[in-house]
């Protein structure tokens, strides 16, 4: 099963809106075939393994990270193929949270006389597909807040200098994160201050996420870099306060406009629903302090990934990684669970999940 989980990781960031799945076929104690789902619309992991195994699949045991599907989607049902191939036993890490599957595949396997075991390395499998599990059950993306700060929580100096707070290794990790998500989001202040491209720039090649800007009054400059590089679609989330003339100019520049509320601020909850409808399963938020606080205040962040540089800049006017109004009482503060820590170069990376 660990091998199946490892195989599934090969397609990280490439299968959305489908899950990451790996499969290993074993016969008489030996691995005879392997497979993993490479992208939506292509063969599932089980089918790849069956094709590789041929007649060796008959009487074999399949180890697979997710319950085999029993419904017709973009590809045919895997359960039917497993039964026809004569697989004797199927070991599954986790049941599929997709309501179209959710135990149906396991039931059909058992009805066909195939021995089924579940729950092997289930925690690891759920972690592997945390974005899929969130989207398929709520139809909203899994939200990760990615932060880069000094040891005292600053994202820039008092005069606005911010390049570069973290080291090269941490910046590369940030681009790897962009490469693996469906969309990336920043606020208008970041666009105005930094004119970012919001692309994944890896030496070995990368895939660029959809770029989303929180911009209630449509202030994104028509000269903004991301409107002219054709690297990935640009979605600008606005409210009814934005002028129609400005919106037409942004549309003409190639941006797509999404209306999210009629107040002075973009309704992030509405935005997440709109993104989910587009099959955007994962969202990386690289906002400033106000954007980070908005997601935390509304309870819309799922995960926090904080890169902490061994620097202290101080300054009451230096912007903080989370700002806004803040929480008045400690018992209102956002708490994280399942924390992990690692050094990425000289910077410390802390990762945790938001307690709901």
What are the two backbone dihedrals, phi and then psi, of residue 130, each rounded to the nearest 5 degrees? Answer: -60, -35
Mean predicted confidence (pLDDT) in 288-312: 96
- The pLDDT confidence band at residue 19, using thresholds 50, 70 and 90, is very high
Is 46 known to be catalytic? yes
The Cα–Cα gap between 24 and 7 comes to 9
For the stretch 231-283, pLDDT in tens is: 999 999 999 999 999 999 999 999 999 999 888 899 999 999 999 999 999 99
pLDDT for the residue 205: 86
The DSSP annotation for 209-220 comes to PEEEEE-TT---
- Write down the H helix ranges in the chain: 2-8, 45-53, 78-85, 104-111, 122-128, 130-138, 168-180, 188-194, 244-252, 268-277, 289-297
% of the chain beyond a pLDDT of 70: 98
Is the pLDDT at 101 greater than 90? The verdict is: no
- The answer to whether 283 and 142 have CB atoms below 8 angstroms apart is yes
Is the pLDDT at 74 greater than 80? The verdict is: no
pLDDT for the residue 100: 78
Instruction: Say what the pTM is.
Output: 0.93
- The pLDDT confidence band at residue 75, using thresholds 50, 70 and 90, is low
The DSSP annotation for 109-167 comes to HHHTT-EEEE-TTHHHHHHHTHHHHHHHHHSS-EEEEEEEEETTSBSS-TT---TTSS-
Among 34, 46, 67, 95, the active-site one is 46
pLDDT for the residue 12: 94
Is the pLDDT at 102 greater than 90? The verdict is: no
Is the pLDDT at 286 greater than 70? The verdict is: yes
Is the pLDDT at 10 greater than 90? The verdict is: yes
- The answer to whether 134 and 141 have CB atoms below 8 angstroms apart is yes
The Cα–Cα gap between 166 and 152 comes to 13
* H helix or E strand, kind and range, residue 259: strand 256-259
Average per-residue pLDDT for the chain: 94
């Amino acid at each position: 099963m660990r091998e199946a989980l490892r195989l599934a990781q090969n397609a990280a960031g490439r299968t959305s809106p489908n899950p990451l799945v790996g499969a290993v076929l074993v016969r008489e104690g030996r691995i005879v075939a392997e497979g993993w789902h490479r992208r939506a619309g292509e063969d599932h992991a089980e089918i790849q393994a069956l094709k590789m195994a041929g007649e060796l699949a008959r009487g074999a045991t399949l180890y697979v990270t997710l319950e085999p599907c029993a419904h017709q989607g973009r590809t045919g049902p895997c359960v039917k193929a497993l039964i026809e191939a004569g697989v004797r036993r199927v070991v599954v890490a986790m049941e599929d949270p997709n309501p179209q599957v959710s135990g149906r595949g396991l039931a059909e396997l058992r009805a066909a006389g195939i021995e089924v075991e579940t729950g092997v390395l289930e925690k690891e499998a759920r972690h592997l597909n945390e974005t899929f599990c969130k989207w398929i059950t709520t139809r909203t993306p899994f939200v990760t807040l990615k932060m880069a700060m000094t040891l005292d929580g600053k994202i820039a100096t008092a005069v606005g200098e911010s390049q570069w707070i973290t080291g090269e290794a941490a910046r590369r990790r940030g681009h790897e994160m962009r490469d693996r998500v469906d969309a990336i989001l920043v606020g208008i202040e970041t666009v105005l201050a930094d004119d970012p491209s919001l692309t994944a720039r890896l030496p070995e090649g990368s895939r660029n996420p959809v770029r989303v800007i929180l911009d209630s009054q449509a202030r994104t400059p028509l000269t903004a870099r991301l409107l002219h590089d054709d690297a990935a679609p640009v979605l600008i989330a606005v409210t009814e306060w934005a002028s129609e003339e400005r919106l037409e100019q942004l549309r003409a520049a190639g941006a797509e406009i999404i209306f999210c509320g009629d107040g002075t601020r973009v309704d992030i909850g509405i935005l997440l629903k709109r993104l989910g409808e587009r099959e955007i399963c994962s969202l990386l938020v690289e906002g400033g302090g106000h954007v980070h606080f908005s997601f935390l205040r509304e309870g819309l962040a799922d995960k926090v990934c904080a890169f902490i540089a061994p620097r202290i800049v101080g300054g009451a006017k230096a912007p903080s990684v989370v700002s806004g109004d803040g929480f008045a009482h400690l018992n209102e503060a956002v708490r994280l669970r399942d924390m992990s820590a690692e050094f990425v170069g000289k910077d410390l990376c802390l990762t945790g999940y938001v307690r709901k």
